[in-house]
């Protein structure tokens, strides 16, 4: 980011944020439940309040989405017309990118240059990808007998409920909104109460871009009330969710109790980053492990939170890793020079501190970090933390921490690496560092994870799907595969 951009940031961070309302049927209005306070993890200061949607507000939002869907104003418009609106929306998001990024950082504490890339700029790219794709996706003519015409249409599902977390709210919402809207669905979006501001702002840009009233509705408020009401609603056809496994389970149960809506889950991970002794460049691997683990304070679903080191390089690697970790600059996420910002709030910090204490009491060895820092700012900051001597049965090796806490283990050979890698119930991502092409290919097939990085960690773009295996979820965000969640096949058998 340039110096001029940081000058602008100083103004934007001082902007007053008006009390927030719900966005239903193209109109802004208060919720029927109590408002919720919004505070900044940067310094603990109160930013604004959020309207809390109750069940009846959620009913209104679903009704608006259904009415819009049935009207055909969006769902039956030509794909090329939808493309134009989504492209215009992407343009507006891009032209407001810095404003949106700062707003988001004030709410969730992500370091600004990362937030700028990962949030508005990535959301704009996602909208463009699906906008450009949607008039190039064809149905099928079946290879049926000559006296029959078998057609397979791909139609929108109807009303989509999208529920998203706080770590990258705009990027993750765009992964759902862009394919869902491009395919002609109407959406009710429920952001996390910890990160709603950018999504509300982006909804106003959608209206400016020409999205018809009711095609996108945003209901804010607590997960237990507003989110649960959406999940249980009988007129929602699909829930597309990103978040924790516990809430994911409750959504499946809500579907079972209501209309058996399809539920797609993008859940957490405990992803292994596996370094073999023939890694092509140990320093590059150290940098990859640091970046793959600590960016955004480890509050990244695919973070490489379990480091598996081959014994012959373990001591040397760990020495370099600790040095690189201790060089990371943690601080005000809106200041130039900061590499890692705040963790997302007081309760998140308290949860992380509990994980550190639990790991110590289980016998893991704390080799760096482990403490809260910069408490005098009033904000919530934590040292990047590494534990060694972790065993597969410890909670630190099995359960997602969702913070800057790395669990390190040692292995002797490929078979043991695979065994350790697969020893959790989660399977979101993994990393493998090796010079041996055969080892790399074998690991890609034997490590059970949705996304496997080889000689890098954390990279990918819209061309590859992201989704978990095992208890990390089902379905995929990104790529053309994401359209599967938001379309249904309709077959026709026409006697000629």
Q: Which is nearer to ligand NAP, 117 or 442 (CB)?
A: 117
Question: 360 or 399: whose CB is closer to ligand NAP?
Answer: 399
Instruction: Give the C-alpha separation, 280 to 283, whole Å.
Output: 9
Query: Is 258 one of the binding residues for ligand NAP (CB under 6 A)?
Result: no
**Integer angstrom CA distances of residue 182 from 82, 164, 169, 262:** 6, 19, 19, 19
Which listed range, 65-73, 76-84, 96-104, 185-193, lies at the site for ligand NAP (CB under 6 A)?
Answer: 185-193
Residues 287-320 as b/e (b if ≥16 CB within 10 A, e otherwise) read bbbbbbbbbbbbbbbbbbbbbbbbeebbeebbeb
CB of 87 to ligand NAP, least distance (A): 25
Binding to ligand NAP by residue 118, rule CB under 6 A? no
379 and 44 in contact (C-beta within 8 Å)?
yes
Query: Taking the complex as a whole, how short is the minimal distance between the CB of residue 210 and ligand NAP, in angstroms?
Result: 27
Catalytic hit among 266, 344, 362, 416: 266
The reply to whether 268 sits near ligand NAP by the rule CB under 6 A is: yes
Question: In sequence order, what E strands does 159-244 have?
Answer: 159-163, 186-190, 216-218, 238-242
Distances in whole angstroms, Cα of residue 422 to Cα of each of 66, 293, 398, 453: 43, 18, 10, 15
**Shortest gap between Cβ of 232 and ligand NAP (angstroms)?**
9
Among 184, 227, 341, 403, which residue sits at the site for ligand NAP (rule: CB under 6 A)?
A: 227
For ligand NAP, which stretch binds (CB under 6 A), given 130-138, 158-166, 311-319, 370-378?
Answer: 158-166
Q: How far is the CB of 313 from ligand NAP (least distance, A)?
A: 29
Among 51, 102, 199, 228, binds ligand NAP (CB under 6 A): 228
- Burial label for 174, CB within 10 Å (0-12, 13-18, 19+), is buried
In total, the chain counts a number of residues equal to 496
CB of 92 to ligand NAP, least distance (A): 24
| 266 has catalytic annotation | yes
Q: Out of 68, 186, 226, 301, which one is annotated catalytic?
A: 301
Q: 326 an active-site residue?
A: no
Candidates 160-168, 325-333, 434-442, 454-462: pick the segment binding ligand NAP (CB under 6 A): 160-168
d(CA 496, CA 489): 22
Return the residue of 380, 402, 411, 433 that touches ligand NAP, per CB under 6 A: 402
Say whether residue 231 binds ligand NAP (CB under 6 A). yes
- Locate all alpha helices (DSSP H) within 422-481, ordered by sequence: 437-446
Half-sphere exposure of 31 (CA within 13 A, CB side): 27
Helix axes 79-95, 169-182, angle to 10 degrees: 160
Which of 20, 48, 108, 250 forms a contact with ligand NAP (CB under 6 A)? 250
Cβ distance 276 to 411 under 8 Å? no
Q: Among 64, 160, 172, 181, which residue sits at the site for ligand NAP (rule: CB under 6 A)?
A: 172
126 is a site residue for ligand NAP (CB under 6 A): no
Angular region, 455: left φ>0, alpha ψ -120 to 50, beta rest? left
Contacts of 82 (CB under 8 A, 6+ apart): 74, 131, 134, 181, 182, 184
Q: Taking the complex as a whole, how short is the minimal distance between the CB of residue 148 and ligand NAP, in angstroms?
A: 42
* Torsion angles phi and psi, residue 468, rounded to 5: -95, 160
Residue 277 C-beta-side C-alpha neighbours within 13 Å: 12
Residue facing ligand NAP at closest CB distance: 223
* Residue 291, C-beta contacts closer than 8 angstroms, at least 6 positions apart: 457, 458
Among 48, 75, 217, 222, binds ligand NAP (CB under 6 A): 222
What Rg value do the Cα atoms of the chain yield, rounded? 23
Of the pair 90, 231, the CB lying nearest ligand NAP is at: 231
Q: Is 362 exposed, middle or buried (0-12, 13-18, 19+ CB in 10 A)?
A: middle
Q: Which of 24, 163, 203, 462 binds ligand NAP (CB under 6 A)?
A: 163
Q: What is the dihedral of CA 291, 292, 298, 304, to 10 degrees?
A: -150
CB of 163 vs ligand NAP, minimal distance in Å = 5
Q: Select the residue interacting with ligand NAP from 104, 214, 304, 468 (CB under 6 A).
A: 468
Give me the residues paired with residue 470 across strands: 426
Mark the segment that binds ligand NAP (CB under 6 A) among 162-170, 280-288, 414-422, 481-489.
162-170
Residues 277-306: x/- map of binding to ligand NAP (CB under 6 A)?
A: ------------------------x-----
Q: How many residues bind ligand NAP (CB under 6 A)?
A: 33
Q: Could you give the residue numbers annotated as active site? A: 266, 301
Residues at the site binding ligand NAP, with contacts judged by CB under 6 A: 163-167, 172, 190-194, 222-224, 227-228, 231, 242-244, 247, 250, 266-269, 301, 400, 402, 428, 466, 468, 473
């Amino acid at each position: 980011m340039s110096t001029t951009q940081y000058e602008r940031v100083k103004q934007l961070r001082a902007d007053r944020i008006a009390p927030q309302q719900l966005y239903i049927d193209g109109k802004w209005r208060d919720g029927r439940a109590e408002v919720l306070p919004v505070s900044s993890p940067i310094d603990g200061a109160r930013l604004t309040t959020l309207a809390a949607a109750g069940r009846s507000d959620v009913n209104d939002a679903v009704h608006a989405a259904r009415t819009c869907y049935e009207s055909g104003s969006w769902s039956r418009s030509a794909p090329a017309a939808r493309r134009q609106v989504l492209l215009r929306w992407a343009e507006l998001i891009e032209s407001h990118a810095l404003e949106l990024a700062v707003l988001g950082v004030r709410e969730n504490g992500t370091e600004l240059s990362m937030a700028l890339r990962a949030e508005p700029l990535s959301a704009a790219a996602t909208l463009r990808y699906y906008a450009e794709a949607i008039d190039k996706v064809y149905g099928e003519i079946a290879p049926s007998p000559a006296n029959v015409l078998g057609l397979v249409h791909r139609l929108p599902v109807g009303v989509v409920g999208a529920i998203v977390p706080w770590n990258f709210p705009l990027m993750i919402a765009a992964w759902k909104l862009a394919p869902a809207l491009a395919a002609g669905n109407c959406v009710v979006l429920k952001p996390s109460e910890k990160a709603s501001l950018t999504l509300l702002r982006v909804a106003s840009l959608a209206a400016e871009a020409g999205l018809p009233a009711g095609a996108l509705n945003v209901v804010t408020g607590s997960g237990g009330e507003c989110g649960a009401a959406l999940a249980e609603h009988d007129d929602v056809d699909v829930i597309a969710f990103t978040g924790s496994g516990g809430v994911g389970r409750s959504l499946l149960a809500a579907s079972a109790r209501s209309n058996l809506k399809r539920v797609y889950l993008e859940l957490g991970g405990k992803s292994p980053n596996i370094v073999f002794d023939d890694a092509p460049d140990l320093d590059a691997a150290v940098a990859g492990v640091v970046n793959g683990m600590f960016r955004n304070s480890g509050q990244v679903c695919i973070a490489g939170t379990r480091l598996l080191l081959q014994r012959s390089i373990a001591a040397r690697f760990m020495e370099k890793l600790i040095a690189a970790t201790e060089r990371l600059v943690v601080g005000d996420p809106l200041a130039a020079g900061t590499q890692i910002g705040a963790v997302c709030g007081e309760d998140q910090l308290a949860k992380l501190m509990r994980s550190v204490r639990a790991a110590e009491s289980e016998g893991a060895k704390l080799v760096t970090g482990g403490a809260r820092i910069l408490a005098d700012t009033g904000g919530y900051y934590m040292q990047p933390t590494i534990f060694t001597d972790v065993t597969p049965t410890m909670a630190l090796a099995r359960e997602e921490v969702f913070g800057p806490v790395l669990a390190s283990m040692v292995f002797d050979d490929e078979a043991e690496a695979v065994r350790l890698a697969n020893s959790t119930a989660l399977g979101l991502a993994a990393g493998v560092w090796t010079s041996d092409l055969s080892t790399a290919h074998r690991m890609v097939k034997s490590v059970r994870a949705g996304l496997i990085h080889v000689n890098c960690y954390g990279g990918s773009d819209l061309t590859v799907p992201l989704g978990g295996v095992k208890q990390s979820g089902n379905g995929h965000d990104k790529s053309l595969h994401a359209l599967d969640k938001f379309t249904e096949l309709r077959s026709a058998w026409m006697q000629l």
